Amino acid sequence: MKILELFAGVGGFRIGLEKADNHLFQTKWANQWEPSRKSQDAFEVYNYRFPTSQNLNINISDITDQQFSAMDADMIVGGFPCQDYSVARSKKNEQGIEGKKGVLFWEIIRATRIIHPKYLILENVDRLLKAPSKQRGRDFAIMLSAFNRLGYSVEWRVINAAEYGRSQRRRRVFFFVYRNDTDFAIKVDRQFENNNAIFEAHRYDDYLYRTGLFATQFPVKPFTHRGRQVCYPLDDDIVDVSDNFTGTVWNTGVMRHGKYYSVDTEPDYAGKAITLGDIIQDEKDISEKYFLTDEEKLEKFRYLRGAKKIERISSEGHTYLYTEGGMSPYDDLNLPGRTILTSEGTVNRSTHLLKVNNRYRLLTPIEAERLQDFPDDWTAIKKNQDGLLVNVSDKMRLFFMGNALVTEVVKEIGLFIKEIEVSFLMK
């Protein structure tokens, strides 16, 4: 299968798929661009690690239609940034709509329209399902409607990696998008064409709880959490969806043929998660620079992680009380790690603080890579614009991991796609 990796970062999707099958999944094209940075560090790491593919380092909007049309990809993958996806009518664009702010998602739609791949795998923060705050679910409904117009179905699930055995409590929404004329989609249609359940909302129960990609690879309990289950039609006019959507989107669902079905599910995993204690490096291998010996810095961590009430003044001049709950003074080695953020390399409330053998220290870049299931030292070296191999700073390596994804989750998705591809080839 030929793959195009967009928003490639340092190659998380590619690593995960190659773990599933490095012969079946062949990434032929990739694009990585950091618009706010002069130095394109992530691309330089990716280009060093994967020199045989066609790797672009340009703004995705600068990839021409002609360039996309030359990419005969079977699958597009990418973790695109979370923005405002509202739309408006365009006076000049024949397609009738244009994104106001979520331009990066619309570039995925442009690539899909031109390339017409069999599948897409996409990833985003879980709050996408409830965005924006004043019209919850609208942004996601716009995406579903956009894929529906192109003749695709979408299955989604919010996955907390630690709830399926990994070492990080990272919640992200994953999409499995498949074209409606694929063998897989036709099989689903045949399975459910006679399933006119008493309640339309239950039409895809078997798919969502047992046979779909996420139900197969990431099992859930066989009942709806708190009875939360909905079925909504999607307006064919994406602008109307943007202006008027009032539905609900739960953590699990599928959109097929202009309707979406969504349920609130709970994970059903019998194994034990990997803990921070399992993935940390041996103390003898850790440089002293990661240990906190400065009492002033330790005191700052205590303050940041502690409960606080602070009087503040708003931009309108009103006085209000800002409150923040306390958190553990240091991270529990007996639990999976918290979500790693791009700010990990700074003194920050969200920064992991470890206490090992009565010494306080920060995460090392290798430990951050392990939290995301990357190989050790994956981001240690890059090839710069002059073609020279240079070391990457610790701060940048931690930033990379804050932007990355848990590659073992992608591996599981890849294994399902491998199974359906192989099964249809053998018929």
Largest CA distance in the chain: 70
Q: Cα 123–30–416 angle (5° rounding)?
A: 45
Other beta carbons within 10 angstroms of residue 250's beta carbon come to: 20
| Active-site annotation, residues | 82
